[in-house]
Amino acid sequence: MRVGVDSGGTFTDVVGVGADGVVRAYKLPSQPAAPWQPVVDGARQLAGEGAVDELSHSTTVATNALLERRGGPVALVTTAGFEDVLEIGRQARPILYALHPALPAPLVDAPLRFGLAERLAADGSVLQAPSSEALAELRARVEAAVREGGVRAVAICLLHAYANAAHERAVAEVLSSLGVPLSLSSEVLPLPREFERTSTTVVDAYVRPIVAPYLARLDEAGFARVRVLASNGGAMSAADAAARPARTLLSGPAAGVVGALAVARACGISDAITFDMGGTSTDVALIAGGEVALADEATVAGCVLQLPMLAIHTVGAGGGSIASIDAGGALKVGPESAGAEPGPAAYDRGGTRATVTDANLVLGRLPASGLLGGAMPLSRERARAAVAELAGKLGVSVEDAAEDLLAVAAAVMARAIKVVSVERGHDPAAFTLLPFGGAGALHACQVARELGMRRILVPPSPGLLSAYGALTADVAHDFVVSLMRPAGPRLTPADVASAFLPLTAAATRALDGDEVEPTARRLERAATLRYAGQSFELTVPLKRADGTVPDDLVAAFHDAHRARYGYALDRAVELATLRLRAVGKVTQVAPPSERHESGAAELGRASLRLDGQLHDAPLLARRRLVPGVTVAGPALITEYSSTTLLPPGARAEVLPSGALAVTIGS
């Protein structure tokens, strides 16, 4: 059996396919104190007496370690004089007009930043080699930090090491006997820009003491092979993930986008906005022309990360997000979450503060029988008591407070969608909203209405789509080389092809290690270019195996610049980097869905409060809705992993694939 697992803050979802080709699914609560346990238990539960041949896993372990500052302590070794690069950063202010901006504390305290007397030029030539005395002194200082300061990992980031890794390797050699993991910038991010390279390398070192033991627990479970989703949407071996844990920081959201892309393509939709609402957060991404937008940089928990990743934007608004009153007396939702323990008040596990889930239950938008097909009961009394406390502070009725809470949450999520659409030149009204996660389909119509979107596609088993994405994600490795040279007529196709050779060799070794069959391999080439004098680049795909003709490459860059910024310049173009993605295709399976069941679709009636009005609406079992059936709102469609809310004016048609094509009124 092949198993895909998505480990979230509230639930752990498991999807598997055996030799019979049948897709099975299982959902169980997460355990923050032992996050690996539900992964192992869920996979074994699904496999039964059989063996798990491959476990493909998306995880939030690295992300949570960074958010909660549970990694480290970590030491930083850098070129003398550059010890404060991490703290200086780009001098960007999160709030432009704040006179006293509150910046997140750097991951490495000043006493743990060690400068080494050495220097390389930008082309990698040696200006000053580190002396044996300087290396010995450095080792003594770092050894003291490990012994007395509890340092658990070391980040090594020397000036211009992307052009010549010799000095970083010399440092690694003298520190290797200390028994702590080392992260070298020449291996983590071999690219220019000292701050971004330093920050990414430090993050890698910071989360490694958390991620490596977690993956070791999975390895001890005895699965034949364990893969981990990377931020780029591809799977890598557990050994690679332990060696480069920074690449897993967007592992969880990436799995959902991979699954959503597969559903969109199967339904013939090329332009969509993914909307993944779970228990702790909401993640959104843009699919345009059948491809997911990519990014090279993200800020996670105040830390800059520059690695290949899917362009995903995250906000702290999920089913477990807690509502509160801010200093100005306004209602806010999130980013604090009740998580899995104690969870929303409705879970009856000790939670007492009002959450999004509690508001939905108070308003009748969740089935009274509970979640997971009734296996997880909900307490309406506890939910109402939690919302009543909030209502008292706002001076409104319980129902009004619940609707206000959901309206604020919808506004937060709509604003996140604008970041990946409007701010990148796309009108969200021209896209289909693709909601998933346990709560996505419940809030999709309200969020779509905020954005003027009219079309929604609810996949089968939306609460399990991230686990499905983990199961079907291709193996992927990214490689890059820095060039920094003019992209004019003097740059020949032979030059480009020659520069790709070491990347191709590395890609072959990586896919060999992953045991990918030659017929399942694909290499995707790209280049980053910029106008002379610009500080940042744009990525242009290279369609042909030889790297394309330079004139075409320059023209493609002009087009990309015009599409992104609205104009192109009559200025020389520079080639900054060449990039290669090595892909190993995996066997695809259909998304999980509940087996169709005969019988009446209506299970009962639900009293829904929508926009201040009560509606007597049918409660429908999705497993009994056959393709071709149309459902008019108001209605509540329930299934094992999620609930879909159709307000008045909305209509849902069941497609042959089992997905719901929803259209909403103005």
Say what percent of the chain tops pLDDT 90.
53
Q: Which amino acid does the sequence have at 309?
A: M
DSSP conformation class of 68: T
Q: Is the pLDDT of residue 652 over 70?
A: yes
- Do residues 500 and 612 share a domain? no
Say what percent of the chain tops pLDDT 70.
98
Split at pLDDT 50, 70, 90, the class of 340 is low
Please count the CA atoms within 13 angstroms of the CA of 484 that sit on its side-chain side: 14
Residue 414, SS3 per DSSP? helix
Contact yes or no for 379/410 (Cβ under 8 A): no
Q: Beta 573-584 vs 475-486: how paired, if at all?
A: antiparallel
Q: Is the pLDDT of residue 327 over 90?
A: no
Is residue 543, in this structure, part of any structural domain at all?
A: yes
Q: Is the pLDDT of residue 550 over 60?
A: no
Return the ∠ at Cα 533 (arms to 529 and 536), rounded to 5°.
45
Average of per-residue pLDDT across 100-113: 88
Predicted pLDDT of residue 551: 57
Of all helices (H) and strands (E), which one includes residue 26?
strand 23-29
Q: Is the pLDDT of residue 496 over 90?
A: no
Contact yes or no for 482/69 (Cβ under 8 A): no
- Do residues 90 and 203 share a domain? yes
Contact yes or no for 581/478 (Cβ under 8 A): yes
Is residue 596, in this structure, part of any structural domain at all?
A: no
Predicted pLDDT of residue 166: 96
Split at pLDDT 50, 70, 90, the class of 206 is very high
Predicted pLDDT of residue 5: 92
pLDDT digits (tens, 9 = 90+) for 3-38: 999 987 778 889 988 877 778 888 888 887 888 899
Q: What is the mean pLDDT of the chain?
A: 89
Structure tokens at 42: 């869920």
Q: Is the pLDDT of residue 597 over 80?
A: no
> What is the Cα–Cα distance from 402 to 383, expressed in whole angstroms?
10
Bigger pLDDT: 189 or 556? 189
- Do residues 572 and 634 share a domain? no
Residue ranges making up the domain that contains 96: 67-212
Is residue 142, in this structure, part of any structural domain at all?
A: yes
Is residue 554, in this structure, part of any structural domain at all?
A: yes
Is residue 400, in this structure, part of any structural domain at all?
A: no
Bigger pLDDT: 353 or 90? 353
> What is the Cα–Cα distance from 404 to 501, expressed in whole angstroms?
58
> What is the Cα–Cα distance from 234 to 307, expressed in whole angstroms?
13
Is residue 424, in this structure, part of any structural domain at all?
A: no
> What is the Cα–Cα distance from 328 to 325, expressed in whole angstroms?
8
Bigger pLDDT: 300 or 474? 474
Predicted pLDDT of residue 619: 93
Average of per-residue pLDDT across 101-110: 86
- Do residues 143 and 101 share a domain? yes
Q: Into how many domains does the chain fold?
A: 3
Tell me the CATH number at 145.
3.40.50
pLDDT digits (tens, 9 = 90+) for 449-461: 999 999 999 999 8
Split at pLDDT 50, 70, 90, the class of 666 is low
* Phi, psi (degrees; rounded to nearest 5) at 290: 80, 10
Structure tokens at 394: 């706002």
Q: Is the pLDDT of residue 524 over 50?
A: yes
Average of per-residue pLDDT across 559-565: 87
Tell me the CATH number at 547.
3.30.1490
Predicted pLDDT of residue 544: 54
- Do residues 527 and 626 share a domain? no
pLDDT digits (tens, 9 = 90+) for 41-68: 888 888 877 788 889 999 888 887 887 7
- Do residues 620 and 550 share a domain? no
Q: Is the pLDDT of residue 545 over 50?
A: no
> What is the Cα–Cα distance from 470 to 258, expressed in whole angstroms?
8
Q: Is the pLDDT of residue 173 over 90?
A: yes
- Do residues 77 and 187 share a domain? yes
Final residue belonging to a domain, choices 584, 615, 643: 584
Q: Is the pLDDT of residue 505 over 70?
A: yes
- Do residues 575 and 657 share a domain? no
- Do residues 94 and 202 share a domain? yes
What is the reported pTM?
A: 0.86
Predicted pLDDT of residue 564: 82
Is residue 391, in this structure, part of any structural domain at all?
A: no
Predicted pLDDT of residue 555: 85
Bigger pLDDT: 581 or 280? 581
- Do residues 177 and 207 share a domain? yes
Q: Is the pLDDT of residue 509 over 80?
A: yes
DSSP conformation class of 129: P
